[in-house]
């Protein structure tokens, strides 16, 4: 029987940004393709719960595991104002804007090329404090 052996390619450095939430800075990384696909497929889901779960999964995939634990504890804390709606609407929207709407792949890997006459974004989102770092 033939043996199929594979070695994954080393991940290129994914773009990062700083998310400031209630005065605390978190480093967020561009999501992997699987998180983007799950989020996109949930957009057509009939269930609100599926959509929220996919959105939250996307947010969690961008965070360091330690930060994920901290934010999950805040969401679960009845005395903390942070709730899922803010993460899934505001934070998710900024993460999509930063990492999906403005792809970070090199021009050789991308089918779209940026026009040299367009101004570059400063990468800052005042409402959630998301700032590009990479």
In a domain, 88, yes or no: yes
Q: Round to whole Å and give the CA distance between 78 and 81.
A: 8
pLDDT (tens digit per residue) in 58-91: 999 999 999 999 999 999 999 999 998 899 889 9
* Residue 43 CB-half CA count within 13 A: 7
Mean pLDDT, range 31-35, rounded to an integer = 87
Q: Round to whole Å and give the CA distance between 92 and 62.
A: 10
Strand duo 130-132 + 16-21: pairing? antiparallel
In a domain, 65, yes or no: yes
- Give the domain extent around 79: 28-103
Per-residue model confidence (pLDDT) at position 116? 40
Per-residue model confidence (pLDDT) at position 78? 97
Structure tokens at 65: 């595991």
In a domain, 39, yes or no: yes
Contact 42, 48 (CB under 8 A): no
In a domain, 76, yes or no: yes
């Amino acid at each position: 029987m033939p043996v199929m052996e594979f070695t994954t390619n080393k991940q290129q450095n994914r773009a990062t940004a700083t998310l400031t939430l209630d005065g605390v800075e978190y480093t967020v990384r561009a999501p992997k393709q699987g998180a983007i696909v799950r989020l996109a497929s949930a957009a057509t889901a009939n269930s609100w719960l599926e959509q929220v779960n996919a959105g939250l999964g996307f947010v969690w995939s961008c965070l360091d595991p330690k930060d994920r634990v901290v934010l999950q504890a805040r969401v679960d804390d009845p005395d903390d104002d942070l709730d899922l709606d803010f993460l899934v609407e505001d934070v998710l929207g900024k993460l999509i804007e930063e990492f999906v709407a403005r792809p970070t792949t090199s021009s050789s890997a991308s089918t779209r090329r940026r026009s040299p006459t367009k101004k570059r974004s400063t990468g800052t989102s005042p409402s959630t404090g998301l700032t590009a770092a990479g």
